[in-house]
Amino acid sequence: MKSTGNHKPQIELIPGCLNGESIIKFQFEYNKQLIEIIKTIPGRRWSREGKYWYLPERYFSLSKIISELSHLAKIDYPSLESKEEVHVHQPKKDIRQASDEVPPQYLEKLLRKRYSPNTIKTYMSYMRSFVAAFHGSDLKSVTTQQINDYILNLIRSKNISSSQQNQRINSIKFYYEQVLGRKKQYYHLSRPRKEKKLPKVLMVEEVELILKQCKNLKHKCILMTLYSGGLRRSELINLKVSDIDSRRMLIKITDSKGGKDRYTLLSEKLLRLLRDYYKFYKPKVWLFEGRNGGQYSATSIEKIFHKALTKAKINKHATPHTLRHSFATHLLEQGINLRYIQEILGHSSTKTTEIYTHVCSRQLTKIQNPLDNLNPD
């Protein structure tokens, strides 16, 4: 993939063979946004040995690739026989696929509105299911009742969660309201009550125990940064070396959830460790680089955390995001004002932050149990 000036980067499609199977390789230089979009393409795979993305030829459709990626990159296919739609050894069951594709304007609108890669992946997946469910129908003529019936059928047949139900509704609403430009009142679907589950948190001693298990300098810095700043994984991955403000002891978070920028706390202990890390690893752009100088992966962070959790012999169900919940709860237990915690976490509303008051042990321990005022003996 070549990029000059303001021109789009270029993806070269190259026929090949892997383990006796005919494939089409996606050859391009590292580009995070392109990778996230490629991940939404059904049938795409990653070759660990070759370090490239590819599609088995039986799933390959050139028009589909162009509709998915042409908004981000120039598609170069010099080695393919035709610029028309290509179906190589495509079984009959995939013939329906061409008419079941998500309208190209859908992805384009998601990108223009700067939705996160994870949201784009989720919306594309759910919209693709929606299109397949109404195969042969004009989506523009699908009624509200038909959509309600579709969602209800998913609840009954697949027992989808209330969270997934809301996401599926939002992906459908996005098409009718954002892509087709219809009024919001056109589309009314009953929403499930949001489940009010408390966040899982770790005790201070448990966080300390987890961090002690990390002997690898980079891994320790990653977990300490997540906890020290109350960061989401995506925020840590996007941190640049220049985002560490050692003079003001702050970490700058750029273009986070909702497109917001903010500052969060930088621990003195973390800063000392980051200086050792910088001297040893010498990162150029991204604070935590993966292979070939690209950004670190969310999957690798997950593996680092669970390895440390297992070594610490902590049986709680926890994820890297638990460190963010724990950070907020521990601040609250220290007596930090909820409004400050809201700013540090980047919440738009205090209502989101208030959930930590329900898991804050400091406030609960101040309450005298009424049984202690009785003399049952």
- List, by residue number, the catalytic residues: 232, 257, 321, 324, 347, 356
User: Nearest to residue 266, comparing CAs of 297, 237, 240, 230?
Assistant: 230
Q: Are strands 244-245 and 10-18 parallel, antiparallel or unpaired?
A: unpaired
Contact 286, 30 (CB under 8 A): no
Own/partner pairs for 61-64, CB < 8 Å, 24+ apart?
A: 61/85, 61/86, 61/87, 61/90, 61/97, 61/98, 62/13, 62/86, 63/98, 64/97, 64/98, 64/101
Contact 127, 175 (CB under 8 A): yes
What secondary structure letter does DSSP report for 240? B
| CA atoms of 330 and 267, how far apart (whole Å) | 14
Q: How many of the other CB atoms lie within 10 Å of CB of 328? A: 25
Q: How many of the other CB atoms lie within 10 Å of CB of 315? A: 8
Residue 82, token pair as written in the block: 């035709």
User: Nearest to residue 27, comparing CAs of 16, 37, 12, 17?
Assistant: 12
Contact 287, 254 (CB under 8 A): no
Burial of 197 (0-12, 13-18, 19+ CB in 10 A): exposed
Contact 258, 269 (CB under 8 A): no
| CA atoms of 152 and 51, how far apart (whole Å) | 42
| Cα–chain center distance at 145 | 32
Residue 53, token pair as written in the block: 């993305």
| CA atoms of 281 and 287, how far apart (whole Å) | 10
Phi (first) and psi of residue 80, to 5 degrees:
-90, 150
